[in-house]
């Protein structure tokens, strides 16, 4: 090679190296620390309970429209979330792709639509080779899939744990691998840990880079598992989550699974294992207790056909304010009797939310002295379901509570 040719080759290599470095330097990096990705419990809607695999671009768009028109978006429900069975495998470069029949224009176009409505997009994958529904999942492709999700504009990943090794150490490793991949992806993407509480996700979620942890197996549209078929209902999930309240803190939220409010026994997966539907008193209790516990609020009914009762429960700003309270503390269960439970939650403005739950099957008169809850002053009592102050200067409350009803008061 002549000296001139050598110079040319050297110059060429230098230019390529510079281009590569600058391309690398320009790669966007996610800006928010993982611990700050979900300052309050995420709120939105998920496809699974009602629609299972019957999902499509059209359903997501119509749901996004309904979230805006119904006022749900403005009440805080921001995520439109595509659960399992959206996948169409991988292309010849191993990029994960959506089912082309369900999502003919791809997920990016859908995310653009959802974002144009002031909403965010959530998607689902699993820490194994296959999801619970048997679709392509992300194990071994974490970085590639995280980059794909980021390029589509995804804001939230629910990461499931079907078909993965049972032990906790492997689960932590697999969730951390995905959280790290999301951090490198160039986009702020919330990570939801969905190992159903079986490996105590609440103890290590923060450490591996997750923002929320499922506390139970899948919710069924029922009050409780009276038929012992293995499904869990509203009261069952309250009982498994109540002891975890000390693990709740800013950016680390319990996911008590989807709200079944408004499904009325007509959902898909939520209707098996005894999921025959609930009364509106029971649905109101679910909303009350999910908010008292600072849970993620994921609606799962068909938002295109909301009834006035659905709206009354789901759009109650006073109960939502408790869920989203900036102090970020979950309620403590201070009374746990066979027929009733009482919960207290401190709020940022110095007041306290108190929930009185009749877990029995008959109406009963209950009374609670505020002193027994550690609240020694005299209080104005606001009923957040009646939207009015019901007492002032009070040191106790007594009254009738219907079967499965929950009274929620703010004491100030
Ligand atoms: C379950 C999960 C459900 C839903 C389903 C999809 O493991 O708990 O919420 O995502 O997988 O297959």
The answer, yes or no, to whether residue 91 has pLDDT greater than 50, is: yes
Region 272-290: what's the mean pLDDT?
Answer: 96
DSSP 213: E
Interval 184-196: pLDDT, tens: 999 999 999 999 9
Least confident of 24-38, 172-186, 295-309, 391-405: 24-38
Distance CA 381, CA 390 (A): 6
Q: If pLDDT is split at 50, 70 and 90, which confidence band does 340 have? A: very high
The answer, yes or no, to whether residue 21 has pLDDT greater than 50, is: no
Distance CA 284, CA 193 (A): 26
Per-residue pLDDT at 16: 46
Per-residue pLDDT at 231: 86
Per-residue pLDDT at 1: 52
Helix/strand/coil for 358: strand
Distance 218 CA to ligand 1 centre (A): 7
Region 189-206: what's the mean pLDDT?
Answer: 98
Q: If pLDDT is split at 50, 70 and 90, which confidence band does 9 have? A: low
Region 41-49: what's the mean pLDDT?
Answer: 98
Nearest to 226 by CA among 276, 286, 282, 274: 274
Tell which one of 49, 84, 126, 267 to mutate to probe ligand 1, the residue whose CB is within 8 A of the most ligand atoms.
84
Interval 232-247: pLDDT, tens: 999 999 999 999 999 9
Residue bearing tokens 């959902």? 267
Nearest to 286 by CA among 357, 342, 386: 357
Per-residue pLDDT at 274: 87
Least confident of 8-12, 42-46, 68-72, 91-95: 8-12
| Percent of the chain whose predicted confidence (pLDDT) is above 70 | 93
Per-residue pLDDT at 26: 40
Q: If pLDDT is split at 50, 70 and 90, which confidence band does 22 have? A: very low
The residue whose CA is least distant from atom 3 of ligand 1 is 218
The answer, yes or no, to whether residue 5 has pLDDT greater than 80, is: no
Tell which one of 218, 219, 231, 256 to mutate to probe ligand 1, the residue whose CB is within 8 A of the most ligand atoms.
218
Distance 160 CA to ligand 1 centre (A): 7
Least confident of 15-24, 103-112, 271-280, 361-370: 15-24
Per-residue pLDDT at 77: 98
Tell which one of 86, 136, 160 to mutate to probe ligand 1, the residue whose CB is within 8 A of the most ligand atoms.
160
Q: If pLDDT is split at 50, 70 and 90, which confidence band does 27 have? A: very low
Least confident of 21-35, 96-110, 306-320: 21-35
Residue among 160, 236, 257, 302 flagged as catalytic: 160
pTM: 0.92
Q: If pLDDT is split at 50, 70 and 90, which confidence band does 19 have? A: very low
Per-residue pLDDT at 18: 47
Question: 105-116 burial, b for 16+ CB within 10 Å, e for fewer?
Answer: eebbebbebbee
Distance 157 CA to ligand 1 centre (A): 13
* Pocket lined around ligand 1, Cβ cut-off 6 Å: 48, 83-84, 124, 131-133, 160, 162, 194, 218
Per-residue pLDDT at 56: 98
230, 273 in Cβ contact below 8 A? yes
Distance CA 189, CA 179 (A): 9
Distance 158 CA to ligand 1 centre (A): 9
Nearest to 150 by CA among 142, 139, 162: 142
pLDDT, the chain, mean: 94
Per-residue pLDDT at 81: 98
- Report the run of H or E that residue 45 belongs to, with start and end: strand 43-46
Q: If pLDDT is split at 50, 70 and 90, which confidence band does 100 have? A: very high
Per-residue pLDDT at 226: 74
160 is catalytic: yes
- Output Rg (C-alpha) for the chain, integer angstroms: 24
DSSP 17: H
Per-residue pLDDT at 230: 76
Helix/strand/coil for 122: strand
Region 288-296: what's the mean pLDDT?
Answer: 99
Q: If pLDDT is split at 50, 70 and 90, which confidence band does 2 have? A: low
The answer, yes or no, to whether residue 30 has pLDDT greater than 80, is: no
257 is catalytic: no
Of residues 99 and 19, which shows the higher confidence score?
99
Region 203-231: what's the mean pLDDT?
Answer: 92
Region 367-380: what's the mean pLDDT?
Answer: 97
């Amino acid at each position: 090679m002549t000296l001139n040719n050598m110079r040319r080759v050297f110059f060429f290599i230098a230019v390529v190296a510079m281009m590569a470095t600058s391309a690398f330097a320009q790669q966007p990096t996610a800006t928010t620390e993982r611990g700050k990705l979900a300052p309050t419990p995420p709120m939105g809607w998920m496809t699974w309970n009602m629609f299972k695999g019957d999902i499509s671009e059209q359903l997501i768009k119509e749901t996004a429209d309904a979230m805006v028109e119904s006022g749900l978006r403005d009440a805080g429900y921001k995520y439109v979330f595509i659960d399992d069975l959206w996948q169409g495998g991988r292309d010849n470069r191993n990029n994960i792709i959506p089912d082309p029949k369900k999502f003919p224009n791809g997920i990016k176009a859908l995310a653009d639509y959802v974002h144009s409505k002031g909403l965010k997009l959530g998607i689902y994958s699993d820490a194994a080779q296959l999801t619970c529904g048997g679709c392509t999942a992300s194990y071994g492709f974490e970085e590639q899939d995280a980059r794909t999700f980021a390029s589509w504009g995804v804001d939230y990943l629910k990461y499931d744990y079907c078909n993965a090794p049972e032990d906790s150490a492997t689960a932590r490793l697999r969730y951390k691998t995905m959280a790290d991949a999301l951090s490198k992806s160039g986009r702020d993407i919330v990570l939801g840990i969905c190992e159903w509480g079986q490996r105590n996700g609440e103890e290590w979620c923060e450490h591996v880079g997750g923002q929320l942890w499922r506390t139970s197996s899948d919710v069924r549209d029922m009050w409780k598992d009276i038929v012992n078929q293995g499904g869990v209902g509203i009261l069952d999930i309250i009982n498994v989550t109540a002891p975890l309240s000390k693990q709740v803190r800013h950016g680390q939220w319990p996911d008590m699974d989807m709200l079944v409010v408004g499904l009325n026994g007509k959902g898909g997966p939520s209707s098996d294992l005894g999921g025959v539907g609930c009364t509106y008193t029971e649905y109101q209790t679910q909303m009350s207790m999910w908010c008292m516990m600072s849970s993620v609020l994921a609606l799962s009914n068909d938002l295109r056909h909301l009834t006035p009762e659905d709206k009354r429960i789901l759009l109650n700003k006073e109960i939502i304010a408790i869920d989203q309270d900036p102090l970020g503390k979950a309620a403590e269960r201070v009374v746990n009797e066979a027929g009733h439970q009482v919960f207290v939650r401190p709020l940022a403005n110095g007041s306290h939310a108190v929930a009185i739950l009749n877990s029995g099957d008959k109406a009963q008169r209950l009374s609670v002295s505020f002193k027994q809850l550690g609240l020694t002053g005299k209080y104005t009592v606001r009923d957040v379901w009646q939207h009015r102050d019901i007492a002032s200067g009070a040191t106790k409350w007594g009254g009738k509570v219907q079967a499965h009803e929950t009274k929620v008061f703010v004491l100030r």
